[in-house]
Amino acid sequence: MTDSDPPEPLVQLQDVGVRYPTGTHALVGLSLDIQPGEFVSLLGPSGCGKSTVLRLVGGLTKATSGRVRRAWDGGPSQDAPVGCVFQEPTLLPWSTVWNNVYLPLRLQSQRRKSARQRVDEALALVGLTEFAKAYPRELSGGMKMRAALARALVTRPRLLMLDEPFAALDEITRFRLNDDLLRLWSEREMTALFVTHSVYESVYLSTRVLVLSERPGRVVDDITVDLPGPRDESVRSTSRYLELCARASDALHHAMGEAPTAKGAAS
Ligand SMILES: Nc1ncnc2c1ncn2[C@@H]1O[C@H](COP(=O)(O)OP(=O)(O)OP(=O)(O)O)[C@@H](O)[C@H]1O
């Protein structure tokens, strides 16, 4: 490989189809790739197959046609290449925050003593050091989501996948967590795959937004988000941000078979 060769994608889906046993075609002819270091958002109508893409990449669903290539395939099975965060934080209510974050390492048979440094580091990353001994019921919604993020990061995954993680949170908490996630992504040089219904959120966070059609999902627009980083709230009022939101919004309306709105109004 020479310096001019493009890097190997971390994940590549080529002409992938998924048909569930119920007969539902969730995806047909979907192609996409994710390069190391990218922050890619999947934006699409409800039911178009976004979560199915995450399950495919995570190895929980098999493609019924086409090819899925992941850079970690064939590597040591002890490694946890993917970390996941869902809309519900799904913390164990009877365990402390520390033990919840320790769980993925415990499942890899790591003893508490050898896992301590990694768990403490993950808690510090999300600003929850002070709450290590608290129980989930003692945390706000945003703090629970931070704990879920720490649990996803504790294995130092090669790819962080997030399925509408902030959809149930109020706007102020959501904006804060957007900024925390961006900070984590740049500090840890992670690759992220993020599912959202929000045009604004996808453009704010991503280096690339993939707009999917209605089910069966396929990529109808691949938008490079050329906003400079590090990003903060001031980005939200720049003309480039608003232009990119309008483009994503138009693509989304088009994907849903609707006429674009006059201002490219985003949801
Ligand atoms: N396990 C399953 N068995 C059968 N059908 C399924 C299964 N999982 C998803 N589907 C169907 O596949 C389609 C795509 O579902 P998926 O959850 O991937 O979409 P989505 O874009 O993530 O939806 P949403 O935005 O509403 O969360 C939907 O029609 C859904 O009902």
Per-residue pLDDT tens over the stretch 139-185: 999 999 999 999 999 999 999 999 999 998 899 999 999 999 999 99
Say which CATH topology domain 11-81+157-256 has.
Answer: Rossmann fold (3.40.50)
**pTM greater than the 0.90 cutoff:** yes
Kindly state the average pLDDT of the residues 88-105.
Answer: 96
Give residue-wise pLDDT tens across range 51-91.
999 999 999 999 999 999 999 888 766 566 899 999 899 99
Ligand 1 center–CA 222 separation, angstroms: 22
Residue among 51, 61, 220 whose CB has most ligand 1 atoms within 8 A, to mutate: 51
Indicate the SS3 state at residue 245. Answer: helix
Residue 30 pLDDT greater than 60, yes or no: yes
What separation in Å is there between the alpha carbon of 88 and the centre of ligand 1?
17
In the chain, CATH 3.40.50.300 covers 11-81+157-256
CB of 46 closer than 6 angstroms to any ligand 1 atom? yes
pLDDT given for residue 230 in this prediction: 87
Confidence (pLDDT) at 106: 94
Of residues 266 and 137, more confidently modeled: 137
- Which pLDDT value is given to residue 1? 52
Kindly report the three-state secondary structure assignment for every residue of 179-236: HHHHHHHHHCCCEEEEEECCHHHHHHHCCEEEEECCCCECEEEEEECCCCCCCCHHHH
